[in-house]
Chains A and B, each alone.
Chain A
């Protein structure tokens, strides 16, 4: 039953031309979702479009304020609506990574633009539909750097911690609606971004983004089916208020749920 969840669902994925984003695009297309993705590199976008002609591609940088209403206009104009938004596009900052002492303000600012303000603006622009239809899911891709203090990962860490908090507050503000928020840590993956950060990383110790995408999609399906079952049971009170959910039953390896809406947290 959950497998059919994606059929004709309108899904927006930022940064869908490489790494986890691209895997999510390909796997969700196969499950019957309508997908629009935005990314910066026209060549990679064209390549994706050749591989998957049904995907709608938009060239743009999520950190660009001027992009947002153009992007939301294209999303609503082509897909008609939005059911799931995956804020996946991410920027590490200048590589090789630098300590905070050597980080320029402008570089931190740019990381926050991509990893925090971009998702904030896009989520806000799509909120019209999410609230009017009173349903929808916003998935923010986070990192263990949001909670661990790794030297030299300052800008990125700060941005992901802030993104987690954005997820948490938005969720709290909309808890009377059926709009759900979740922040997921996909674990360390063998993606171009990871090798930018750690050029000599051992590929064998890293997850294949393909497996991670399978896992994340399954996780979402589980939550959605539990949520559907729960609304059938009618008003079950949610009492789990822990911000550190036990996700072990649903995500494997080092993948973690950083934050999920109250109702969902109770399933974990």
Chain B
């Protein structure tokens, strides 16, 4: 077993020889570390025997997911992402060139939670004829070709009635496009008649396949990428940290007086096959947080409990919302450094003003109107689009703990958890130990619980 090591301050992986390339190629990374990182191939879900590394500043322990209720404390709050996952890999044919293409929906860009029309997407040439089309889906993403001829306003036909109109092609990365679902007419031209949400979703479910990276060898079914919390389908990759959670575990958490509440965050595409393009990811992602969940967070903070984010999507949504409140605080010329109480003040001021239900006596941070810069407020909660990118030196305010999968040391996710753990050196050592204990990586793999403070 090879080891992770630090080279020039950056995590690198000592590579083994790529002598069995077919076996477990890792298309997400240029570095082929697949021979070193054990991957959970099987679509294992809802398994309480999943390994759980508990990472604290004072040391690590290696447990099972089953132990989560006793590892957490009474009065903690667990927050999950209730997004369902769409089969976002769509095969179609360019109506002008007749070329077969695959379009992977990457991130929805509609300014409404339940609108599914406009997307940032990645387009590949679909090699072979339609009968062998699944063949190129199994190629590692970085080996996929771009379409030979693609123009803006081309229509990619998905069925006889629905197509994707190419709105924009990126100047540098030709595979990176913006598309819109449209109705199509018999002649292959698009119709200006508006397309409804159920027509768009119907088409995605009819013609789409789950985005599956080549390290997963088996065919996946739609249910393999849903969690027990799945409701509105706004993700294109599963919020995988929750894949192993069962209702039994939820009940045992509740028995310990640990509430489980939810938010919605649209997990976007994580890999495009181009390292340069991947550097721009994650793309802006939509999220929705209900007032009820924000109230739960506030109450948890008030009684000194921990807010536990299940998955980096939950972390991203929560910290994005808080960043909006911090911006407001700065605008109100409150510029002293953040103290722990300030988080409570900011949250209760916010709820006071949007919901009128909080009990703070004095509002320090005023919202000028119900519309903050990056968020919209309705009667139920906050809708926003997050552009936040975490670095190793990022600060985290709302989340006190994070339950997440095992991440590759050269990924953006790893920078995030390195930052969250506040101890990258020990994290790499802990990862080595986890590897030696047979931990598995990727969406069906094992988990880490970060409890930094």
Contacts and interface: CB of A to CB of B under 8 A. Distances in A.
A8 to B, nearest CB: 12
A73 B205 contact: yes
Contacts of A129: 82, 231
B409 to A, nearest CB: 33
B223 A69 contact: yes
Contact of A127 (B86, B114, B228): B228
Contacts of B197: 77-78
B376 to A, nearest CB: 16
Given A74-B205, A78-B197, A132-B261, 8 more contacts: A58-B198, A66-B221, A66-B222, A70-B205, A70-B222, A73-B84, A76-B230, A77-B201
B348 interface: no
Interface string A114-151: 00000000000101110110000000000000000000
Nearest to A68: B223
A131 B84 CA distance: 15
Contacts of A222: none
A158 interface: no
A253 interface: no
Contacts of B261: 132
B198 A78 contact: yes
Contacts of B202: 58, 74
Interface of B: 82, 84, 86, 114, 116, 197-198, 201-202, 205, 221-223, 226-233, 247, 250, 261-262
A56 interface: yes
Contacts of A73: 84, 86, 201, 205, 233
Contacts of B116: 77
Contacts of B231: 72, 76, 81, 128-129, 132
By Cβ-Cβ distance, the 10 closest A-B pairs, closest first, are: A70-B205, A73-B233, A69-B222, A76-B231, A76-B232, A77-B201, A78-B198, A128-B229, A129-B231, A132-B262
The listed residue with most A CB atoms (<10 A of its CB), out of B197, B222, B232, is B232
Given A66-B222, A72-B84, A73-B86, A80 B232 contact: yes
A120 to B, nearest CB: 13
A69 B114 contact: no
A132 B82 contact: yes
Contacts of B201: 73-74, 77-78
A264 B229 CA distance: 27
Contacts of A66: 221-222
Given A66-B222, A68-B223, A69-B223, A77 B233 contact: yes
A77 B114 CA distance: 6
B233 A76 contact: yes
A80 B205 contact: no
B313 to A, nearest CB: 16
A56 B84 CA distance: 20
Contact of A132 (B114, B221, B223, B229): B229
